[in-house]
Amino acid sequence: MAPEAPSGDTTVDVGGPGQISKIAVATSAVVQFGVVVAVLVLRLLADGAVGDRLGALPLAAIYGVPAMLAALAFRRRPPLLLAAGIASLVLAIFPFSLHSFVFGPVGLIYLIAYPSWSTPQHGNRAAAVAVIVPLLLLLAFVALIWHDDPTCYSRNASGDVTIDRDPGPITSGSQTIEADSDIVETGCSSDTVVWWEALTSLTLTGGALAAATYLTGPSQRRATASDKP
């Protein structure tokens, strides 16, 4: 009688990412984290008197997710690298800004490196994570801009600033008042982030991370292995 094949998961890890691939992914994640820190600092320091500092944290959290996923991919979770690549490209396009010139190339590096990290049993989980994470991040960004919350300010000669959160129809910008008035400067922003927008965005971003870690966790890996014939 011929010997029976051993039952259970007989998958053998014969490949895995090479050293160059690991270095490329790690370097890209570090660069991406650097951009996130820069975005956070600039948002905190460059908003002026109108102030939109409440939006700085959720925006930095959104931008930080792809780099976090790439870092977590080193913990035997290759599908996260695919999600990091797609999320980076999505955030590079929407919204398009200076960060796009970093997120675009970094996203491509993640996607190019992914095939050497993945194995066939990652298929379903990789597809799920690659769809869910970018979608939730996109919704998190939309939550910050969905509702218009205009704000105006005025600064008097002594430097005191008055904020008006209900200014009516306005346009963005600022101007210096040259007339004989105690008010020396006024300015407006057509939209600032309020607390419920920030909370909604952070919740969606946290949901993206939670879904990614759950779908690539040990329990899901065991479930995938047990489904094999």
The residue with greater pLDDT, 119 or 51, is: 119
- 47-51, 57-61, 82-86, 142-146, range with the lowest pLDDT: 47-51
- Per-residue pLDDT band for 12 (boundaries 50, 70, 90) equals very low
Collect all residues with Cβ–Cβ distance below 8 Å to 130 and sequence separation of at least 6.
Answer: 79, 82, 83, 86
3-class SS of residue 53: helix
Does the pLDDT of residue 195 top 90, yes or no? no
Q: Is the distance from CB of 63 to CB of 36 less than 8 angstroms?
A: yes
Does the pLDDT of residue 100 top 80, yes or no? yes
pLDDT at 65: 97
pLDDT at 14: 39
pLDDT at 228: 44
Residue 224's φ and ψ, nearest 5 degrees, are: -65, -40
Alpha-carbon distance values, 7 to 20, 30, 64, 123 (Å): 36, 42, 42, 22
pLDDT at 118: 80
Question: Whole-number mean pLDDT of the chain?
Answer: 78
* pLDDT tens digits for range 54-99: 788 999 999 999 999 999 999 989 999 999 999 999 999 988 888 8
pLDDT at 226: 46
Q: What is the DSSP string of 84-141?
A: HHHHHHHHHHSS-STTHHHHHHHHHHHHHHHHHH--GGGHHHHHHHHHHHHHHHHHHH
Does the pLDDT of residue 200 top 90, yes or no? yes
H, E, C per residue of 67-93: HHHHHHCCCCCCHHHHHHHHHHHHHHH
- Per-residue pLDDT band for 156 (boundaries 50, 70, 90) equals low
3-class SS of residue 50: coil
Alpha-carbon distance values, 95 to 88, 100, 101, 106 (Å): 11, 8, 12, 16
How far is the C-alpha of 139 from the C-alpha of 134, rounded, in Å? Answer: 9
Does the pLDDT of residue 172 top 60, yes or no? no
pTM for the predicted model, two decimal places: 0.75
